[in-house]
Every structure is written in structure tokens, then in C-alpha cells.
Amino acid sequence: MNIYALAGHKVMVTEGTKNGGYNPDKEQVAEYLQLDVPYTVRHTEVDRCSTRIYLKEFPDMNFNSVMFEDVEEQSPEDDKRHADWSKYN
């Protein structure tokens, strides 16, 4: 998924992404999320080694971004609006 996704961006867990990340990430996704169901990004926190994604549907939880793929693409111009974009680009 696009780690610079802005609020409102749609992402989902798929058969191809559900096994990304570490075992706790996989267990969390299996417990809380459904495959091929769109979820809405609240915000992402980008770091050098990983990115955490916060979803509107689960406001008190965060997930590993590698578990998701984009439902729709976000423009490069919108990527630049993300608070963390300038730290890594």
C-alpha cells in the first residue's frame, strides 16, 4: 500500500497481503479484519523500517502497512501532502 496514504484513502487485506509482516501482525489481521473488504485510512505513521496504519473502523488500533493494498491509487501530488513525506523524500 501507499505508505503516504491520506485520511479517507481506501485499503484492504487480500489473499496476497495477509501473510506479510510478523506473526503478531498476521494474528491481529486474522482476528479483526476481513479479506477483500475496503477499510478507510485515518492516518499513517511512516518510519524508516516500518509504517503503521490507523483505520477509521478501528480507531484504537494500528496495523502493519505491509498487510494492505490500495483499493485506489493516490496521486504523487497528494503523497507530498502527508506529514511524513518530506522526512523520507
The predicted-structure confidence for 19-65, as pLDDT tens digits, reads as follows 999 999 999 999 999 999 999 999 999 999 999 999 999 999 999 99
Structural element, H or E, at residue 23: helix 23-32
Output the pTM of the full model: 0.94
Q: What is the pLDDT of residue 37?
A: 98
Q: What is the pLDDT of residue 50?
A: 93
Q: 3-state DSSP call for residue 55?
A: strand
Per-residue pLDDT band for 75 (boundaries 50, 70, 90) equals: very high
Question: CA 66 to CA 89: how far, in whole Å?
Answer: 20
Per-residue pLDDT band for 76 (boundaries 50, 70, 90) equals: very high
Q: What is the pLDDT of residue 87?
A: 95
Q: Mean pLDDT throughout 60-72?
A: 97
Q: Select from 28, 16, 8 the least CA-distant residue to 68.
A: 16
Q: What is the pLDDT of residue 30?
A: 96
Residues 12/55, Cβ–Cβ less than 8 Å:
no
